[in-house]
């Protein structure tokens, strides 16, 4: 029998699963980077997310059929925004020299969420948000200050992806929050794949069927870093207190940086490490209010 949400056993299990989710997400950066050696970026993204969306749609077919017309429209709308964000992300990854830096830049979407919420929806912005923004900006400067401050094309794509991801979060939380997670994600991933394939057809040339080794990286991205990751995330979030999930999910850029070091021998200077540390601190600061929402018994 499943442990009830909030119990010690259920919380411990969800924490372990959430850590695994962040590891799978980090491996997704590696799998994707390897696949891009033999596929154009938007074609790869389209194949990965359309395939994952179809798999999740089959797993949640009953729930998907039960969506109302309004729910389906909202899922499609948020899926279009997600498609834009992921397309920017894959373009950044294709150009990136260091996936760790890319992961920390993309993670700034967490910091942007309350700012976008205030600008577009009039949401109240906590003082800690502006502190987090200041810390993140200093961290960003340290990432690119060596040799004179400059942002590369990949940095621009990652930052744009982070901004659109923050919009996607705001839209999903306001317009699609009551849609069951599995069919919502299936629709969003499918729409993301369709958007990427459309952009690939318009913008990319020289497309070809990937070789067997590249196909393996594509399948790993599709099945492990997307389907398995989201399935575990559904399970874990059903058991985890919000504060646990909020903090644990910030580990993704940390794991990605370590994998970049181990897999691609990518290194960071001391100044860049300090910049990454400040961005990670900004992520925690931006989620501090979530931590404070826990009741005392739950904390104990």
Is 3 part of any domain? no
Mean pLDDT of 249-259: 93
Is 1 part of any domain? no
Which pLDDT belongs to residue 123?
85
Helix, strand and coil content of the chain, in percent to the nearest 5, comes to 80, 0, 20
Ranges 8-22, 37-51, 126-140, 220-234: which has the least confidence: 8-22
Is 60 part of any domain? yes
Q: How far apart are CA 266 and CA 225, in angstroms?
A: 21
Give just the sign of the alpha carbon dihedral 245, 25, 93, 193: negative
Mean pLDDT of 199-223: 88
Mean pLDDT of 284-292: 72
The total domain count for the chain is 1
Q: How far apart are CA 110 and CA 125, in angstroms?
A: 13
Q: pTM of the entire structure? A: 0.89
Beta strands in the chain (DSSP E): none
| Residue 85: pLDDT band with limits 50, 70, 90 | very high
Q: Is the pLDDT of residue 290 over 90?
A: no
Mean pLDDT of 246-264: 91
Q: How far apart are CA 103 and CA 158, in angstroms?
A: 8
Which conformational region is residue 180 in: left (phi greater than 0), alpha (psi within -120 to 50 degrees), or beta?
A: beta
Average pLDDT, the chain: 88
| Residue 293: pLDDT band with limits 50, 70, 90 | low
Is 162 part of any domain? yes
Is 236 part of any domain? yes
Mean pLDDT of 92-103: 95
Q: Is the pLDDT of residue 51 over 70?
A: yes
Instruction: From 106, 83, 95, 82, select the one nearest 41 (Cα to Cα).
Output: 95
Q: Is the pLDDT of residue 296 over 50?
A: no
Instruction: From 285, 283, 291, 286, select the one nearest 106 (Cα to Cα).
Output: 283
Instruction: From 41, 82, 43, 33, select the one nearest 186 (Cα to Cα).
Output: 82
To 5 degrees, how large is the angle CA 36–CA 37–CA 39? 55
Q: Is the pLDDT of residue 80 over 70?
A: yes
Is 281 part of any domain? yes
Q: Is the pLDDT of residue 286 over 90?
A: no
Range of the domain at 220: 8-299
Cβ-contact 31, 217 below 8 angstroms: yes
Query: Burial code of 11-28, b = ≥16 C-beta within 10 A, e = fewer?
Result: bebbbebbebbbbbbbbb
Is 119 part of any domain? yes
Mean pLDDT of 249-253: 91
């Amino acid at each position: 029998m499943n442990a009830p949400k909030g119990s010690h056993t259920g919380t411990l299990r969800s924490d372990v699963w959430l850590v695994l989710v962040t590891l799978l997400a980090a491996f997704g950066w590696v799998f994707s980077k390897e696949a891009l050696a033999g596929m154009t970026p938007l074609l790869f993204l389209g194949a990965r997310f359309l395939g994952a969306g179809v798999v999740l749609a089959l797993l949640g077919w009953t729930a998907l059929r039960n969506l109302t017309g309004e729910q389906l429209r909202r899922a499609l709308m948020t899926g279009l925004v997600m498609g834009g964000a992921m397309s920017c992300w894959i373009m950044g990854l294709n150009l990136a020299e260091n996936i760790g830096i890319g992961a920390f830049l993309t993670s700034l979407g967490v910091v942007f969420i309350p700012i976008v919420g205030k600008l577009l929806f009039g949401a109240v912005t906590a003082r800690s948000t502006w502190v987090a923004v200041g810390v993140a900006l200093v961290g960003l400067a340290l990432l690119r200050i060596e040799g004179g401050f400059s942002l590369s094309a990949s940095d621009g794509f990652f930052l744009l992806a982070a901004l659109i991801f923050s919009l996607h979060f705001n839209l999903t939380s306001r317009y699609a929050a009551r849609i069951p997670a599995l069919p919502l994600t299936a629709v969003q991933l499918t729409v993301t794949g369709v958007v990427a394939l459309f952009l690939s057809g318009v913008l990319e040339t020289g497309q070809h069927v990937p070789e067997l080794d590249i196909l393996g990286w594509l399948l790993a991205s599709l099945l492990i870093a997307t389907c398995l990751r989201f399935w575990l995330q559904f399970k874990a979030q059903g058991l985890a207190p919000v504060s646990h999930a909020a903090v644990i999910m910030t580990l993704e850029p940390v794991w990605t940086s370590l994998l970049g070091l181990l897999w691609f021998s990518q290194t960071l200077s001391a100044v860049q490490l300090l910049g990454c540390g400040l961005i990670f601190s900004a992520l925690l600061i931006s989620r501090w209010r979530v931590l404070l929402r826990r009741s005392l018994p739950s904390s104990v």
